[in-house]
Amino acid sequence: MSTVKTTNIQHPSSAVENFKLAADGTVEVYDGSAWVSVSSTGVLQVVEGTQATPVTITATSYTTTNLSATITPSSASNKVLVLVRTNLFQKRDADSRVQGEVLRGATQVFEQTHRLDGATSTNNQIMSVEWVASFLDSPATTSATTYSLNGKLEYGSNNHSSTWHETSPGSIILMEVTP
């Protein structure tokens, strides 16, 4: 492999340089009337956390599902795209709801409810549902930041439970993106 060392790049048909490369790695582009600094844009890093061990929840208060991932943003102005997917089995003998929340540290940043309809009081059904979330968060920090998923029954009884990550691992993907 060869290395080309240069500070200016000019297309043969252009009257001026098209790109300037500074020693610190910054790039400037000539827009036809002035030099404009080009910053990094797009996805800067991707982190994934998975959880394959099923977690059964019978409580109506939030309980950890043991699914989490940690990202360290490179700039406090950058955002984090959070993508969460897991499956769960809901055992119930009447209509019920299961809720999930995503925390950034100890702060709730997302909450979603799944309503599972159709069971009667005598059939003790087990239903499968996929719990999916995607949202853009603004953590405003350059410190390591952990996102985690908790679950609960919105209401329940002795015959209600939900098992998270039952048939396949749950995953949480964090992408640092520039604004």
DSSP state of 23: T
- Does residue 168 lie within any of the structural domains? yes
Do 113 and 129 lie in one domain? The reply is yes
In order, the DSSP letters of 27-62 are: EEEE-SSSEEEE---SEEEEEEEEE-S-EEE--SS-
- Does residue 169 lie within any of the structural domains? yes
- Does residue 2 lie within any of the structural domains? no
Of 134 and 153, the one with more pLDDT: 134
Number of other residues whose CB lies within 10 A of the CB of residue 170: 25
CA–CA distance, 157 with 60 (Å, rounded to integer)? 9
- Does residue 147 lie within any of the structural domains? yes
pTM exceeds 0.85 for this model: no
CA–CA distance, 72 with 70 (Å, rounded to integer)? 7
Q: Which residues pair with 42 in a beta bridge?
A: none
The 10s digit of each residue's pLDDT in 37-96 is 666 567 889 999 998 888 888 888 899 999 999 999 999 999 999 999 888 777 765 556
Do 147 and 75 lie in one domain? The reply is yes
Of 153 and 22, the one with more pLDDT: 153
- Does residue 1 lie within any of the structural domains? no
Residue 146: give the domain boundaries.
43-177
